[in-house]
Amino acid sequence: MVEHPEEISNEYVRGLVEGEGTFTFSPSGNKKIPVFCLKMHVRDKNLLELVRNKLGLKNKVYEYNHQRKDGVKRGPQAMLIVREVGSIKNTIIPFFYKKLKGNKGKQFLEWLEKFGSDSKVPATFKFIFQLYRSGFYDRKQWFYRWTLNN
């Protein structure tokens, strides 16, 4: 078994998210909660924990077995999921803002735009949209914490 290094770089995390991550919404009653999710085979749970630690998150990395509706079984999965307003505002958005390329970069910006345009997104996330639109995430000093290793 190959061990993962104790420390991973910011760019490694971003690359992993470009391939395996998603920026989406989770239904909660009549609301839609913004969600960042990174899901992999359970054999990579350790790697997800390294990502969580690199981002300074407290979220648990969950394990589950997924069976599709058509009966096809998939291997057991591990998942890091972030829904908390503070973590989205202070960690996820600054870490990935204008740092993702291709389709994932587009998905990320569409996700942010939907914070403001979707009436089912809670007001607390509308505030994050206002910060984004005001240029808050474009200010260099905001990113100081995340750019040290770039």
* Residue pair 116/133 in contact by the 8 Å Cβ criterion: yes
pLDDT band at 90 (very low <50, low <70, confident <90, very high): very high
35: in domain: yes
89: in domain: yes
Q: Cα Rg for the chain, rounded, in angstroms?
A: 16
Residue 113 is part of a domain; what is its CATH number?
Answer: 3.10.28.10
In tens, the pLDDT along 61-86 reads: 999 886 666 666 678 889 999 999 99
* Residue pair 79/37 in contact by the 8 Å Cβ criterion: yes
69: in domain: yes
When the pLDDT of each residue in the chain is averaged and rounded to a whole number, the result is: 88
In this predicted structure, what is the pLDDT of residue 71? Answer: 66
How many angstroms separate the CA atoms of 128 and 131, rounded?
A: 5
pTM of the entire structure? Answer: 0.84
In this predicted structure, what is the pLDDT of residue 67? Answer: 66
> 25 lies in which domain range?
10-140
Q: Which residue, among 101, 82, 90, 104, has the nearest Cα to 34 in the 3D structure?
A: 82
